Structure 1
Amino acid sequence: MHFTEYDTRLAAYGLIVRDEQILLAWYNGKGQGRAGWTLPGGGVEFDESMESAVAREVFEETGYRVSVGGPIATDHFAVTMDEVRGRPFKSQRVLFDATITGGDLGTTEVDGTTDFARWIPLDETGAMGYRSRIVDIALGIVAGR
């Protein structure tokens, strides 16, 4: 399928680990998809870099300011027909290392798709319920470090 025949969403996420805990955000399902845990991050705006998108999204979803490192993983998925868009859809996701430089835990976006953020102990991630595949990718990276 030619790229003009489907919609693409470019998204960027931050992997933030501190004291054997991972920072995750609760996606409420208001956008599209199932509610559950995800990494802080989201769609890259038309006029911003992926690194700027990570910094903006992490602040909106967690209240923390971050320094964004390099990309550490990519992921994508596609659906042949997206009911909302009325055409095929592809999501391309890039995961970046990120380090907290300031701020306080607390979601700053209003009426968005993130209800709250939490530090989840790495040894408790198996019992946390539904989570986005991007969380599993991040946990695999953390386990390999």
Structure 2
Amino acid sequence: MTRAPTDVPAGARLAARVILIDSLDRVLFCRGVEPGKGAVFHVMPGGGLEAGETFEDAARREVLEETGLRVEIGPWVWWRRHRHVWDGREADQYERFFVARVHFPAEVAAARPDSYVTESRWWTLEEIAAAQEVFVPRRAAELLPDVLAGRAGEVMDCGV
């Protein structure tokens, strides 16, 4: 089912993610381990909206919390709705992805001990495409070239 990108589904957990790009056109992914299952995946920085927060505010806050970097949030380029089981519970999450750039090869803060994230790393497109690992969204290697080139176009569903 296609949903207009401005429709926020009732009852879904709302979250913001950031396609964080450094001066070498690398994209930051956080290595996560799913509680209970041990499944490893790589996800862009982000997390749930707090009460009264906009998606952009949440994106800015989450990048600061997860990386120690203060960034200016750029355009909203992707969205996704992800229904899944997390830590033994059913979850329904609606996410918006925003672009942000840092104009230097940035070092990021260590992972928080209370987080499912174990580390963060900058990845080139070539490394993402060649990796035998799970990236979220799964179409990251396909979709990121347009974002890196500044031609993301209309806000689109990036899939799970």
Give the TM-score, by structure 2 length: 0.69
| Superposition deviation, residue 128 in structure 1 | 2.8
Which of 121, 134, 151 is the equivalent residue of 1:118?
A: 121
* Contact 1:16–1:99 (CA under 8 A) maintained in structure 2: yes
Cα-Cα RMSD = 2.9
What residue number does 2:97 align with?
95
Q: Report if aligned partners of 2:111, 2:119 keep a CA contact under 8 Å in 1.
A: no
Show the counterpart of 1:109. Answer: 112
- Which one-letter code corresponds to 1:73 in the other structure? W
**1:25-83 CA deviation, whole Å, 9 max, x = no partner?**
11122388832111111111222111111112112222222111121111112359x95
Task: Quote the Cα distance in structure 1 between the aligned partners of 2:102 and 2:62.
Answer: 13
Structure 1's unaligned 5+ residue stretches are 1-5
Relative to total residues, which structure has the larger strand share, 1 or 2?
1
**CA distance 1:107–1:44, shift in 2 (3 Å):** farther
Residue of structure 2 equivalent to 1:9:
13
| Aligned equivalent of 2:45 | 40
TM-score norm. by structure 1 comes to 0.75
What's the secondary structure of 2:134's corresponding residue?
Answer: coil
When the two structures are aligned, how many residues end up with a matched partner?
A: 135
1:28 corresponds to: 33
Match runs of 1:119-138 below 5 Å: 119-134=122-137, 136-137=139-140
The residue type paired with residue 20 of structure 2 is I
Please give the alpha-carbon distance, in whole angstroms, between the structure 2 residues aligned to 1:14 and 1:31: 26
Percent sequence identity is 25
Q: Aligned equivalents of 2:88 and 2:32: distance in 1? A: 20
Within 1, Cα distance between the matches of 2:74 and 2:37?
28
Q: What is the rounded CA distance, in whole Å, between the counterparts of 2:83 and 2:76 in structure 1? A: 21
SS of alignment partner, residue 53 of structure 1: helix
